[in-house]
């Protein structure tokens, strides 16, 4: 009886050891998996002509759900208006964005140039900002205060 219990105990330890080994071997592929959308580098030029090199650039905006609560949104695409529809232009398809401030307080107008050379002019669907990492730390640039973003 004691012998049978010891065999069950050892068998259980081997199963745990086997599962642990398999997880350990699979871990590098899980850790190395890129996050959806990838990361992007760009040079942003503000309205004063100052250029900032950014890594891991995102389009950022906050959705207000109550007087004291906001939901942050981090996108690797640019939501723009085309007529009554909203188009989400992926960063990986873009070469550059030229931004012009709007006169009536609405979001800026973006002239988007794709990597394949196609261009289009759209109004931003959301008055957001571009965030990324510079050599000096995290940077947030309001889309209304930018003149150009060139993706590397």
The pLDDT profile of the chain, 152 residues, written as one tens digit per residue, is 545 555 555 455 554 444 544 444 444 433 333 344 578 999 999 999 999 999 999 999 999 999 999 999 999 999 999 999 999 999 999 999 999 988 788 899 999 999 999 999 999 999 899 999 999 999 999 999 999 999 99
Q: Compute how many other C-beta atoms are within 10 angstroms of the C-beta atom of residue 24.
A: 9
pTM: 0.72
Sign of CA dihedral 129, 83, 91, 71: positive
Domain edges within the chain: 1-33, 41-151
Is the distance from CB of 33 to CB of 141 less than 8 angstroms? no
Within 8 A by CB and 6+ apart from 102, the residues are 108, 109, 123, 144
What CA–CA distances, in Å, run from 147 to 32, 51, 77, 136? Answer: 35, 10, 18, 21
């Amino acid at each position: 009886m004691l012998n049978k219990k010891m065999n069950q105990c050892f068998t259980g330890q081997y199963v745990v050891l086997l599962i642990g080994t398999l997880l350990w071997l699979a871990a590098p592929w899980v850790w190395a998996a890129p996050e959806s959308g990838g990361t992007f580098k760009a040079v942003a030029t503000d309205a004063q002509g100052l250029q900032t090199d950014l890594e891991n650039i995102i389009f950022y905006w906050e959705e207000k759900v109550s007087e004291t609560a906001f939901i942050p949104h981090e996108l690797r695409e640019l939501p723009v208006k085309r007529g009554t529809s909203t188009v989400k232009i992926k960063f990986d398809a873009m070469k550059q964005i030229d931004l012009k401030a709007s006169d009536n307080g609405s979001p800026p107008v973006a002239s988007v140039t794709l990597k394949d050379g196609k261009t289009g002019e759209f109004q931003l669907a959301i008055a957001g900002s571009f965030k990324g990492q510079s050599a000096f730390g995290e940077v947030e640039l309001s889309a209304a205060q930018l003149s150009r973003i060139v993706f590397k």
